[in-house]
Structure 1
């Protein structure tokens, strides 16, 4: 988070105050994955009142559009949150506390506020489509999967916390392996192994395989991370069962289906049933294109030093990359280490600055697109 002091209330412009009110009210509205309708309705009403053509689409997404130019920018954020009731308040330092303030209502509201502030010339040069997506925090990614089939953008911004001066180029992939071992019961004084023994051995082998992938690479982005997400065992006197869910974070060099084969090989002779879910391929976008240049210039104009990042989690960037092979970045105010935590909070001064950066960057991007189109005609 930025250490800059929040401007006093009287120092805010009317547009800044409106942008803050948009965020605070959006955070106040509960919107767990699958329960986003009230938040989507509020956002579409706000966008309609601020010059957007807005609606709630078939996936429950809040969609707002401004501009008529031939160059299309998709600004895809998500409005659902993980569980956890954090009382919504703005403290004396100008910090907004509340679930979703960082992940990711803050970034999406910054998108909306920035597009609302764009001047007429920019709106004549490009078309800006803000999509407040549903179920990003769920395995379905329902909102993004719907949006990717309804739009063919020329550039994409993903609303995720990067810090106001940060630019996220990529995210690791994901795979979840669900393991189960079922065996006849036996006396523990005899020979043999229990279901839990075999399950534990399977986990040890998967962990050893994961540790060997990319071990020669210096950064964690190019390695496999393996964690146990769920673990248990039970018996009824006749049979015994053991189960586990293993989460795998995958580097760009390892597609999910290749990881499946590796897991099967690792536990080959163990009597383990395996099913796989959550397939997401890693993605990493180039750092030098019209979109990144516009954001970098805008960040510097606000006194910041642009910093490129890659993340070990996943986002809707992973989902849309295949159908939207265009310049893409994830951007938004906030400290991503606060995602999903009881301490989730966003400095409103940082939010203000991110809105200014986005407004400037989108204006520059539209100008560049218009100049390029003019030069080629």
Structure 2
């Protein structure tokens, strides 16, 4: 059968969705999504943040399952193409393929008297998550569509970014002792970054957190002791670390590491939405076991593992969250998602749709 039990064909939807460029503006893609929902008898809402939301089931449910993914894609747009069994183009796996599978599950859903299913599709996952930051769904379990190779992903590292600012005193380079060299103070800063996690235990699923210096800038003239230096760092966090907790601890660590005559400040990069923090769901939770069993029964690989990229799933934690979908972030040849060769196999889209239909039915009976 090409579609689900109600006639919706996820691959046919994907063939319409991938040609629609949604890297700079999601308006046309959102119109297609709304049109698709309405054609299936669903009346969605689009909120002020651009989220497309639709629900089925009890108004005050004992169980509320939320199906989430995003319609925006990274630049540049890659045109649609199709080989036998493979759809190519931007968004084919990240995340219009997962969206097609989630739509199949939502249309087929028939929640029990105490259950509710909500479809919540966000417009800005690849940049600032302005849509997800405004969602207030009160779900008690979430499935987030991303390319996982049909595995069930229960955890992901967070990503924080910030700038270390060092301040000294400018002086002539011929008399370096008359100033305070901010660039020279990078040496103890880099040592402190390397040892920052030495006494911290690795997360059982995600492994160790990482802290990486990524960009540096300092000095004004080649014959002058530099008064200022800035170092950008990338943090990949593990639970239970929060962005603010990381900021406070790193600033305190650096203050203790550099000479007293050097000023030290560490500030997280300003953004209008919260950073994507780490999350972890118990692998034995019913959400995970039901989805893994459904994927396995449908022919998926169904390993339970962490996801290797940051996702909006972090906004839904600490409620149980599982990340799942067709396609892969990378394969044996290299990058797939965000790459010019982005693709998804149509068989995997159908398998994901079948798995999600079964999992949603089990979780909302």
1:335 corresponds to 2:304:
no
State the Cα deviation string for residues 241-291 of structure 1 (Å, max 9, x = none): 432321101121433333223311332134233211464432111122332
Quote the residue 2:120 is aligned against.
131
1:146 corresponds to 2:137:
no
Q: Distance in 2 between matches of 1:314 and 1:255?
A: 14
Corresponding residue to 2:280 among 265, 277, 284: 284
1:159 corresponds to 2:145:
yes
TM-score using structure 1 length: 0.80
Structure 1 SS opposite 2:35:
helix
1:318 corresponds to 2:340:
no
Q: Distance in 2 between matches of 1:188 and 1:221?
A: 47
Residue 351 of structure 1 deviates from its aligned partner by 0.9
Structure 2 SS opposite 1:235:
coil
Quote the residue 1:55 is aligned against.
45
Corresponding residue to 2:21 among 30, 38, 44: 30
Q: Pairwise CA RMSD of aligned residues?
A: 2.9
Q: Distance in 1 between matches of 2:33 and 2:43?
A: 12
Structure 2 SS opposite 1:296:
helix
Report matched runs for 1:95-110 at 5 Å.
95-110=86-101
Corresponding residue to 1:115 among 106, 128, 138: 106
Q: Is the 8 A contact 1:202 1:266 kept in 2?
A: no
| Structure 1 or 2: more helix by fraction | 1
Residue 13 of structure 1 deviates from its aligned partner by 4.7
Q: Is the 8 A contact 1:181 1:271 kept in 2?
A: yes
Residue 124 of structure 1 deviates from its aligned partner by 6.1
Moved more, 330-339 or 276-285: 276-285
Residue 363 of structure 1 deviates from its aligned partner by 1.4
State the Cα deviation string for residues 68-101 of structure 1 (Å, max 9, x = none): 58342111111222222322212x2422222222
Distance 1:189 1:221, change over 3 A: farther
TM-score using structure 2 length: 0.83
Q: Provide the aligned length of Structure 1 versus Structure 2.
A: 344
Corresponding residue to 2:242 among 255, 259, 268: 255
Structure 1 SS opposite 2:189:
helix
Give the unaligned 5+ runs of structure 2.
Answer: 331-335
Distance 1:231 1:84, change over 3 A: farther
Distance 1:45 1:232, change over 3 A: same
Q: Distance in 1 between matches of 2:187 and 2:344?
A: 41
Report matched runs for 1:1-377 at 5 Å.
12-13=2-3, 18-32=9-23, 35-68=25-58, 70=61, 71-90=63-82, 92-118=83-109, 121-122=110-111, 126-139=115-128, 141-147=129-135, 149=136, 151-164=137-150, 166-191=151-176, 194-199=181-186, 201-210=188-197, 212-214=198-200, 217=202, 221-235=206-220, 241-268=228-255, 269=258, 270-277=262-269, 279-322=275-318, 325=319, 327-337=320-330, 338-367=336-365
Residue 194 of structure 1 deviates from its aligned partner by 4.3
Q: Distance in 2 between matches of 1:185 and 1:177?
A: 25
Q: Distance in 2 between matches of 1:182 and 1:28?
A: 51
Distance 1:234 1:129, change over 3 A: same
